[in-house]
Structure 1
């Protein structure tokens, strides 16, 4: 099928946590024979901070963040068999969803792909006049990258015909074990941009433990932390491109995942970092959230912390041998059960099911 996909960016992970998700899923879908074009706006400095070249498995169209350029990109949806609008594109999001649906041919499968369901649902619940309410009634399905049954049920109550979680996963061709790199040497590493919905949790799970363990080195990667006072043993290295994620994950004794507050409360929302770390064979410590055991086994494949004191205790009891054992177990599990190829099988079947149903209705 010919797929027109409107998202934030596939070329850059700069201020764009969905990049790994898009790359893994769309590469796997292309291997199933789909002809994919990804449309992304030139916004937030992402084009100046690309970390991959345009891929051979997906055509990429970068359009200026102007009404005229966005309109020209949207018009191309008319040629697609499947039209996907993702959340958080970063330019005229509400307009873009309606415009893409208007441009799509009647028989096209129409998908809203929500990469931040807690935020989207909060907006919809707060505003009965939000244009997303009308758009839901025109869609064939909503796909989300997390949230599980609670999110799916919330979308159905709002009028979505179908809502299916398509969880983050591992692309073994991009995230895999590598040699340690002393640029990233530390006892504990955390990689994440500074966001209002996460900063307090970074303070609790990362900065407070660093202050309690002054003899250990803590490594902080990600954008936005430059003007934030940090403990002396925290080394901030700024944005880390995806090509360096494997080395960042395997070099410290352990790496930390900290969900945004809304994601942690919703649960069933493993971020890309979980699978990147597991795919590299890293020892991962994650904050606690409902559903973690659906993806990794606590205590054996991942260490789970309820608060910063737990992080301190986990680090105190973690030697190199145990860290390596946890990393190996996590890698084996995600390779077996949580790859983007497995996620793509679900998406491919869903697209063919909806396309077939549309053809039957048209011929009836």
Structure 2
């Protein structure tokens, strides 16, 4: 299969979770014998922070603007399938361009589904508009559960399927490093995540000054009052993630408000930490128990007291090992690539039937 992807970024993981998601998925997809071409808008903030400029498992091309895309129209026309991702700059226009030029199945890959639906409800059509959704043969969603039926029922998607994030098992595994922190968090600053981070990490840090904590990720405001036992790392390249997780006795998972409301919206960090056998303490949302078994493969926390109880008493090693087994068995990139292959095949069949009926 020849697959063309127009995504937010493949080359830079700075300030976004899209790059690592695409890398794991498309690397595994290419390993199944497929040809992949990824188009990325050439923007200065990613150009200054590229940590994968020349992947050896797919072609990576940069375009300057919408007009510059036209020189690649033949690539879309000759592709078996095309995927347009969420948060692509001028994504509505890019989506229309893809639907106009593609002859194979066209899918939308929403790595931000609850945020997208909240934006649509407010009339904010930054990268997707309601009229585009029926034109996509397939809606691949980071959110599963009831949201999938809603996408089909309310927005007219011909087929909405969950395609959760995944982990590259070759890149994420326990590293040979000593433990440095009792609890770590890896994630870009987000205003709606910060109250949970305050409750589940900063509050325990203030209550237990003898413990060591760390928050890694960019864009945190200067006015945050970080306790003295909370280390800050501004940016952590993906190559350093496995060592970071392994150096943590526990990893914290914090979910955005829209994704908590929708449920069934796992973060890629959840699977990455698990693959490193680092036990996870997570906030609580519907559908999490379908991914990891609470109390056995993950610890759920509603407040700082729950976090402190886990740090003081839970069997971290056993939980981490159980989470790793589950991540490799169900959430590795090889599994997601097989799902993507199946979904694109179904979408192609749907498109062929629709074309035949129209003729």
TM-score by structure 1 length? 0.91
Q: Paired residue for 2:342?
A: 349
**Cα distance in structure 2, aligned partners of 1:154 and 1:125:** 13
Shift of 1:51: 2.2
Q: Paired residue for 1:137?
A: 134
Q: Paired residue for 1:210?
A: 205
1:39 touches 1:73 (CA, 8 Å); kept in 2? no
**Cα distance in structure 2, aligned partners of 1:267 and 1:74:** 37
Shift of 1:356: 3.3
Q: Paired residue for 2:325?
A: 332
| Secondary structure of 2:94's aligned partner | helix
Q: Paired residue for 2:191?
A: 196
Shift of 1:244: 0.6
Shift of 1:126: 2.6
| Secondary structure of 2:135's aligned partner | coil
| Secondary structure of 1:316's aligned partner | helix
* Pair 1:121-2:122 in alignment: no
Higher mean Cα deviation, 285-294 or 36-45?
Answer: 36-45
**Cα distance in structure 1, aligned partners of 2:162 and 2:301:** 25
| Secondary structure of 2:48's aligned partner | helix
Shift of 1:316: 2.1
Q: Paired residue for 2:107?
A: 111
2:92 touches 2:132 (CA, 8 Å); kept in 1? no
Shift of 1:347: 1.6
Shift of 1:357: 4.1
Q: 1:297 to 1:144 in 2, by over 3 A?
A: same
Higher mean Cα deviation, 292-301 or 70-79?
Answer: 70-79
Unaligned runs of 5+ in 2: none
**Cα distance in structure 2, aligned partners of 1:351 and 1:169:** 18
**Cα distance in structure 2, aligned partners of 1:154 and 1:308:** 34
Deviations 1:80-101 (CA, angstroms, capped at 9, x unpaired): 2211111012x21222111221
Q: Paired residue for 2:79?
A: 80
| Secondary structure of 2:278's aligned partner | coil
| Secondary structure of 2:209's aligned partner | coil
Higher mean Cα deviation, 53-62 or 157-166?
Answer: 53-62
Shift of 1:299: 1.0
Shift of 1:63: 2.0
**Cα distance in structure 1, aligned partners of 2:92 and 2:350:** 28
**Cα distance in structure 2, aligned partners of 1:268 and 1:56:** 33
Q: Paired residue for 1:153?
A: 149
| Secondary structure of 2:252's aligned partner | strand
* Pair 1:285-2:276 in alignment: no
Aligned match for 2:93, one of 88, 95, 100: 95
| Secondary structure of 1:327's aligned partner | helix
Q: Paired residue for 1:294?
A: 290
Q: 1:261 to 1:76 in 2, by over 3 A?
A: same
Deviations 1:200-250 (CA, angstroms, capped at 9, x unpaired): 221122112211111211111000126132111111011111001101111
**Cα distance in structure 1, aligned partners of 2:95 and 2:54:** 24
> How many residues matched?
354
**Cα distance in structure 1, aligned partners of 2:196 and 2:92:** 29
| Secondary structure of 2:171's aligned partner | coil
**Cα distance in structure 1, aligned partners of 2:121 and 2:73:** 27
Unaligned runs of 5+ in 1: none
Aligned match for 2:214, one of 199, 214, 219: 219
| Secondary structure of 2:13's aligned partner | coil
Deviations 1:307-335 (CA, angstroms, capped at 9, x unpaired): 222112221224xxx21111111111111
Q: 1:95 to 1:333 in 2, by over 3 A?
A: same
TM-score by structure 2 length? 0.92
